[in-house]
Amino acid sequence: MDRGRANADARVRATLARTYLNLGVMQAQADRPVRAAELLEQAADVSPAFPQVQYSLGVAYFNSQQYSTAAAALERALATDPDNADARRMLALASLNAEDYSKAAKLLRDDPARSTNPSLQYAYGLALVRSGQQDAAEKIFSALLAEHPDVAELNVVLGQAYAAQGDFEQAQRALNRALSTRRDVADANATLGEILLKQGKLSEAAEALRAELTSHPANVKARQTLATVLDLDGRSTEALAELRTLLASSPKYADARYLTGKILLARGAAAEAIVHLEAAVRLAPDVANTHYQLGQAYQRTGQADLAAREFEIYQKLKDQRRGGGQ
């Protein structure tokens, strides 16, 4: 292609990219983020490095709750404009929502706006809790609560930080404070249920987890914990009902597959248990106990070779864990 044609092609691409960008921004301003993302994706296809395309695309995906995809676009935006503080901040929030907590904490740590923005402080503290940095998180939330003592969400995350440190008394105090402010605040009852489970208070744990699910029925972790509590309390029929509800919406939830298979095997339904345990192994192949339960199920259905294979994998995984291999 000669220089004239190359220049003409570049002008056409720039015009198309600008047109798609403008149309995408208009859709975003009209609060239609999904359509905005579609148009901005076309702009990026035509000219990936066109100014503001990747950032605008990341924002559109973020607003349509496609957080992992948003993060990828925002990474590309930062690669071409590393001083873009808005892109860095949006990437941090996208990473937080995509459960990449360590990355979110790292990005928010040095954000100059954090010291004057309580929402960013909250996001930073949450990222610290979820990435296992409870001591640092506790300082953040204690400072925030000194200024905003009645914000339920702050008390919830502070309670989670205390719980992760094993300070259940302080955790329960913070969680009950959250619930006294707002009875339906997310994760307060779920965290109380987890604490009560660790304390062996199964009936109280089940009550707290059911309260969480009444307000937030889509909380799969709370439903999984409730199933675990019910199983430990000898209420396997109720546990299976919760697990089937969970798997109907989240069929790739490995823990639910494992517990379903374990309960079915204990009830003598080995063939049905195999279906769930095989799925659990595919989803989480490095969990030793799943291989052990699957080996038991194969053994009970007369599949000795398959059982031996699973018991061998189980033993290797246990040996690796003892030797520090994982």
Q: What is the pLDDT of residue 116?
A: 80
d(CA 98, CA 285): 23
Helix ranges, 131-283 (H): 134-147, 152-164, 168-181, 188-198, 202-215, 220-232, 236-249, 254-266, 270-283
Classify residue 232: in a domain, yes or no. no
Domain holding 308, by residue range, is 251-326
Residue 157 included in any domain: no
Tell me whether residue 43 is in a domain.
yes
Q: Is residue 123 part of a domain?
A: no
- Where among 98, 116, 147 does a domain terminate? 98
Number of domains forming the structure of the chain = 2
Per-residue buried b or exposed e for 70-86, using 16+ beta carbons within 10 Å of the residue's own CB: bbbbbbbbbeeeeebee
The dihedral over CA atoms of 171, 172, 173, 174, expressed in degrees to the nearest 10, equals 50
Among 98, 119, 134, residue at a domain's last position: 98
The string of pLDDT tens digits covering residues 58-71 is 888 888 878 888 89
Domain final position from 79, 98, 117:
98
Residue 11 belongs to a domain: yes
**Assigned token pair, 207:** 């009550």
Q: Residue 326's pLDDT is what?
A: 46
CATH number of the domain bearing residue 266: 1.25.40.10
**Residue ranges, the chain, pLDDT below 50:** 1, 325-326
- Kindly report the pTM of this predicted structure: 0.69
Q: Is 188 inside any structural domain?
A: no
Domain contains 306: yes
Q: Specify the pLDDT at position 14.
A: 60
